[in-house]
């Protein structure tokens, strides 16, 4: 068995690369370009996610507006019911006043007729 002894055949670039090597071909990182881990882990939302968030925000605003409008509708219904009750009360009062007026007219006609028949309405000449 023959052995061949050969001198160093490594180039300077190879020697530099080998000195930076850690754990089987994983190069060391350059500390000049190091960014904090938060930057690497920062998630940039996709356009779809942004649109979805905007939709959800708008949807929430519209739900609140719907609730406000429904509450206002309830108040308006109550106001309308009160107005109807007042109108009904006034209508009943008007009907009662008309009945009383008709009754007074009838009584007045009866009184005038009775005065004529008894002769009280005539003046003496």
Q: Is position 123 within any domain?
A: no
Determine the structural domain holding residue 109 and report its residue range: 12-117
Task: Identify whether the C-beta of residue 36 lies closer than 8 Å to the C-beta of residue 30.
Answer: no
* Residue 92 covered by a domain: yes
Does residue 124 lie within any of the structural domains? no
pTM metric for this prediction: 0.41
The CA distance from 99 to 106, in Å, is: 10
pLDDT tens track of the chain, all 125 residues?
555 555 566 788 877 777 776 555 555 566 666 677 777 677 777 888 899 999 999 999 999 999 999 999 999 999 999 999 999 999 999 999 999 999 999 999 999 999 888 877 565 54
Residues 11-32: pLDDT tens digits? 888 777 777 765 555 555 666 6
Domains held by the chain: number: 1
- Residue 3 included in any domain: no
Name the 3-class secondary structure at 78. helix
Domain-embedded: residue 5: no
């Amino acid at each position: 068995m023959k052995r061949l002894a050969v001198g160093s055949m490594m180039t300077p670039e190879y020697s530099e690369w080998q000195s930076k090597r850690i754990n089987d071909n994983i190069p060391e990182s350059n500390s000049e370009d190091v960014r904090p881990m938060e930057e690497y882990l920062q998630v940039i939302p996709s356009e779809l996610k942004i649109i979805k968030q905007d939709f959800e925000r708008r949807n929430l605003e519209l739900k609140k507006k719907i609730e406000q409008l429904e509450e206002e509708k309830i108040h308006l219904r109550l106001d309308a019911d009160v107005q109807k009750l007042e109108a009904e009360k006034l209508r009943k009062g008007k009907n009662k006043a008309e009945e009383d007026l008709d009754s007074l007219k009838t009584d007045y006609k009866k009184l005038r007729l009775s005065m004529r028949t008894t002769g009280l309405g005539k003046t003496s000449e």
